[in-house]
Structure 1
């Protein structure tokens, strides 16, 4: 594949997304657009370097292992979690367009990544070393469950086999998270990977989809424990300089899943004040897309959009935030989509996944 041509055509593609975007009904997500988006994870899933492993070594010999030796399924796209949600994106797109021109490439990638021997090494990694039980906690864990959920809801024989092959890793993550929840005394309210609310959103979605009621109830209990009495959140201080998640909106996106509508409305009214609302509807400023941390702010626009879409759907028609959140979500998406690729790997290795999730989130 000529990746330079992919990049050259991408701005035109994203202009089409701007023009046709209407809360992203799948009928508007054309095969052509799907192909262009798929090119990004297809390119990076087997690109081993540059690489940020996040590995803590027990001994000198551990330090000398290549990323592909540590993580034979999810070593590309710079880091483990980006590789996982790149795989999620390919699964999502292939589900939408089974006859995608890149179908054979995607199937080959998924067959390779979901090889049972490789998945076993991935699962064993979390218990093989002294310090790896907390590896990718909870952002990478969340995306792994989202990948598992996407496969679980895809009824083809091939998807069922991939889902079955993934189970050693899925069950390892589930056990780690189940063990961790009772010990997590305080939530992480950052706007980057360790954010607790983001992780619990994906965990809850997975639990409900797979009908794992015990995990579902544990997640709900922890969400209420952490956030039910929160009031006047200081969202007027958002964002930090490298945020790709909104700490306040992630909490609200979780609580709209946890509470009945009338209770959620009361909670939301107490959670935000005027100053915070006025701040979170402002478009994040991205001063340098070649900077791997600053470019996170493009992702913030996309994650704010998916949170606001979901929150708005759970508000009654006359609520003061409903139309504001709907309009702001559309503005954030239409403004951010042209920046999904800047031609710099710092954004190209992950932003397309955020774009696809934002478009189809509900």
Structure 2
């Protein structure tokens, strides 16, 4: 299918679905899922263009190709996008077991979820001198989200793929467990190193897989970083390449960490009205062919999932509960037709954000 036809069909299907149905989960039909699945299906085994971010130890490993460095997650422009592309395909298979291209999706995932390949992926983190910090923590977070999705899938294929992923999963957990006690300060950026975003996914994984020690470490470090935060400068968001809201990611984490009454007290001190007014404005995306500017479409989607979750943790009478729910819907409805812009800068990753924004309801 030509890319402009794909863009049109996805946009039309999404608009029809939004007009005809209510509730975020109903934004997706089987047909829409199939259209969006075609994006990671195209890029998972597409090696170029590629942003490896590899730090070389010598001239020998400087010339290695992406698939030689990473036998599984070498496509979709970069490692983390390949990981959450895999997550999205698993999520859609779980949601629509009879979706079109099911056999094609299974073939692609079967090729990825091979034990020996995952052992090689895991070995990368210790094979090179500075690789232990590579993809910290955004890629780590999506890897645990993929693992969680497979763990919670009562399906023979899911169990098989989950088993194959374990060498890499355990490596990521060990790296994070070693890193958190020595991470003195959180990263408050709106892009990949954002600490709060990573800890949200890590905590969800720890809770789903009954990992109490890891969960306790995450909760304690989250309190260390954010419990005393007040009057966050959300009025300054976003930066020009943000796909995450620094303030909303923190709030989305703390609602998981604190009991509801404590969270409410914390939340009321965390935001100012000026900040709320600012983060509820629609981000302006001036050029979707620009690999960095298109990040702002991702910002709309991540704001939507954060606002949905935060709203659930606020009392029914709280003035921002209704506002956040309404703005989450607005961000979704505005951005979903743009999840594919016809440019690889958005096509290689935005569909994953769209799927997560729709189905995330913790």
* In 1: Cα distance, 2:54 partner to 2:21 partner: 40
Could you say which residue in structure 2 is the equivalent of 1:343?
342
DSSP-derived class of the 1:50 partner: coil
Query: Which structure 1 segments of 5+ residues have no match?
Result: none
Deviation of the 1:8 alpha carbon: 4.0
1:153 aligned residue: 152
Structure 2 CA distance for partners of 1:8 and 1:277, relative to 1, 3 Å: closer
Q: After the TM superposition, which residues 1-362 of structure 1 pair with which residues of structure 2 at under 5 Å, given as runs?
A: 3=3, 5-20=5-20, 22-25=22-25, 27-362=26-361
**In structure 1, C-alpha distance between the alignment counterparts of 2:208 and 2:82, rounded to whole Å:** 23
Deviation at 1:131, TM superposition (A): 1.0
Query: CA offsets, 1:108-156, max 9 Å, x none?
Result: 1111111111111100000000010001000000000000000000011
Name the Cα RMSD after superposition: 1.1
Instruction: Determine the C-alpha separation between the residues in 1 that align with 2:269 and 2:350.
Output: 32
| TM-score after normalising by structure 2 | 0.98
Shift of 1:99: 1.1
* 1:147–1:327 Cα change, 3 Å: same
Q: Determine the C-alpha separation between the residues in 2 that align with 1:10 and 1:24.
A: 16
| Residue ranges of structure 2 left out of the alignment (5+ in a row) | none
Moved more, 27-36 or 315-324: 27-36
Greater mean deviation of Cα atoms: 138-147 or 92-101: 92-101
Deviations 1:216-254 (A, max 9, x none): 000000000000010000000000000000000000000
Whole-angstrom CA distance in 1 between matches of 2:268 and 2:244: 21
The answer as to whether partners of 2:27 and 2:358 remain within 8 angstroms in 1 is: no
| Count of matched residue pairs | 361
In 1, are the aligned partners of 2:254 and 2:263 still within 8 Å (CA)?
yes
SS of equivalent to 2:319: coil
Q: TM-score, normalised by structure 1?
A: 0.98
Give distance in 2, aligned partners of 1:289 and 1:252: 28
SS at match of 1:321: helix
Secondary structure of 1:268 counterpart: helix
Q: Could you give the per-residue CA deviations for residues 253-291 of structure 1, whole angstroms, max 9, x where no partner exists?
A: 000001111111100000001110110000001111111
1:2-48 deviation digits (Å, cap 9, x = unpaired): 555433422212322432463313x5521111111111111111110
CA distance in 1, matches of 2:193, 2:294: 18
The separation in 2 between residues aligned to 1:134 and 1:21, in whole angstroms, is: 44
Mean Cα displacement is larger for which, 110-119 or 178-187? 110-119
Contact 1:71 1:121 (C-alpha < 8 Å) held by counterparts: yes
Q: Deviations over 1:31-88 (max 9, x none)?
A: 1111111111111111100000010000111011110111110011000000000000
Supply the distance in 1 between the matched residues of 2:52 and 2:14 (Cα, whole angstroms): 31
Secondary structure of the structure 1 residue equivalent to 2:318: coil
2:17/2:29 contact within 8 Å kept:
no
Give the whole-Å Cα distance in 1 for the aligned partners of 2:190 and 2:27: 31
